[in-house]
Amino acid sequence: MRIETVELVRVAMPLVVPFRTSFGVQRSRDVLLLHVTGEDEGWGECTTPDAPIYSSEYTEGAAAVLRDHLVPRLFAAGDVAATEVGSALAPVRGHRMAKAALELAILDAELRAAGRGLAASFGAVRDRVPAGVSVGIPEGGVPELLEVVAGHLDEGYLRVKLKIEPGFDLEPVAAVRERFGESVALSVDANTAYRLDDAPTLVQLDAFELAYVEQPFPADHLMDHARLADVLATPICLDESLSSPTATADAVTAGACEVANLKIGRLGGFLPAVATHDICVERGVPAWVGGMLETGIGRAANVALAALAGVTLPGDTSASARYWRVDLTEPFALVDGHLEVPAGPGVGVAPLEDVLAEVETGREVLRA
């Protein structure tokens, strides 16, 4: 498809509740959306946070690299299919979330022009996906955590992931298990907050029958994850470390990754995320789809990915109401613990005009 314009659209979205992880607290998102026009139009969402705290990427950096490097390369490439976006942008190193947003917008436009849906185009095997919820570290400690988890279980979430950090780990996990019992699917996510020295603490998590422990060590501490896997019965899930399909295959080979968190932005696009999914299937690694507090645009793509056969665990693809008072698109609702996979053309959703008008804070138009 020949792209005529790429718009960098900025949107202010306050979260309904602050989200605290081991690396900081997030109260709102300054979302960068990409809107491409050509034969058809398409939308993509950049999953960068405001600050480079989850990885080196952040929203202002993504906007700069899109404006100065990625979009000019795309325009120079002329007619590009979504499957060619990756190679057109490959000379620019890194910036995977920015690349993913651009690829997603083009994929959306291309599929809309063809009248085809994203999930179906990539071989989706289900029309609804089981939803989990990621619970931040609450200011009110364990008592507040128990209330929040109780609320989410009442809503019907099928898996609860607790954020942990040194000093907030064994006690909250034990309290949640004790209060809600063995049957609740439970996991923890450390967002890189531990070091191999902490293994004696981490092995005590084995008492709680967790589905997995997510990313205990920094992204590049691959062999330490493998060393931990030798002493931890609970499977290790990697998130931050899995920056590409190749990195994922290598992490599996190293014995560092027993469960995989698939994220479209972190992996550099929907197509690399599908390739990573395929590796997980080949290698027998259970996979699930993570989240970056997306609006409905990014969520639609996450849910389409979660509809693939190799995604065998509930993900962080929660309903719109867990994040936003008003979502940017038709909201995703939790029905029997599941989200419906959008079936319309492209990603199947688009920003609602009136909502966008209300929350848009800026728009930069780039022309071919």
If phi over 0 gives left and psi between -120 and 50 gives alpha, with beta otherwise, what is residue 348?
A: left
Choose the catalytic residue: 112, 263, 277, 299.
263
CA 296/CA 300 separation, integer angstroms: 6
Residue 161 annotated as catalytic: no
Write the interaction track for Mg ion spanning residues 206-245; mark x where CB under 5 A is met and - where it is not: --------x------------------------x------
Q: Which is nearer to Mg ion, 214 or 327 (CB)?
A: 214
Count of residues in the chain: 368
Strand partners, 6: 36, 366
Q: Find the shortest distance in angstroms from Cβ 361 to Mg ion.
A: 28
Q: Find the shortest distance in angstroms from Cβ 322 to ligand SMG.
A: 7
Q: Taking CB under 6 A as the rule, does residue 189 contact ligand SMG?
A: yes
Q: What is the largest CA-CA distance in the chain?
A: 59
Q: Taking CB under 6 A as the rule, does residue 293 contact ligand SMG?
A: yes
Q: How far apart are the first and last CA of the chain?
A: 13
Q: Find the shortest distance in angstroms from Cβ 326 to ligand SMG.
A: 17
Q: Which is nearer to ligand SMG, 7 or 189 (CB)?
A: 189
Reduced to 3 states, what is the DSSP secondary structure of residue 171?
A: helix
Among the listed ranges 99-107, 116-124, 205-213, 287-295, the one in contact with ligand SMG (CB under 6 A) is 287-295
- Report in angstroms the alpha-carbon separations of 262 from 184, 234, 301: 22, 19, 12
Q: Taking CB under 6 A as the rule, does residue 49 contact ligand SMG?
A: yes
Q: Which is nearer to ligand SMG, 25 or 309 (CB)?
A: 25
Q: Find the shortest distance in angstroms from Cβ 237 to Mg ion.
A: 8
Q: Find the shortest distance in angstroms from Cβ 67 to Mg ion.
A: 29
- The count of other CB atoms within 10 Å of the CB of residue 150 is 13
Q: Which is nearer to ligand SMG, 249 or 317 (CB)?
A: 317
Reduced to 3 states, what is the DSSP secondary structure of residue 234?
A: coil
Q: Taking CB under 6 A as the rule, does residue 45 contact ligand SMG?
A: no
CA 335/CA 253 separation, integer angstroms: 38
Q: Is 181 exposed, middle or buried (0-12, 13-18, 19+ CB in 10 A)?
A: exposed
Q: Taking CB under 6 A as the rule, does residue 43 contact ligand SMG?
A: no
- The count of other CB atoms within 10 Å of the CB of residue 170 is 15
Q: Which of residues 50-109 bind ligand SMG (CB under 6 A)?
A: 54
List 41, 45, 103, 189, residue binding Mg ion (CB under 5 A)? 189
Residues 238 and 250 sit within 8 Å (Cβ to Cβ): no
CA 367/CA 364 separation, integer angstroms: 10
Q: Taking CB under 6 A as the rule, does residue 138 contact ligand SMG?
A: no
Please list the active-site residues.
163, 263
Residues at the interface with ligand SMG (CB under 6 A): 26, 49, 54, 134, 189, 191, 239, 290-293, 316, 318
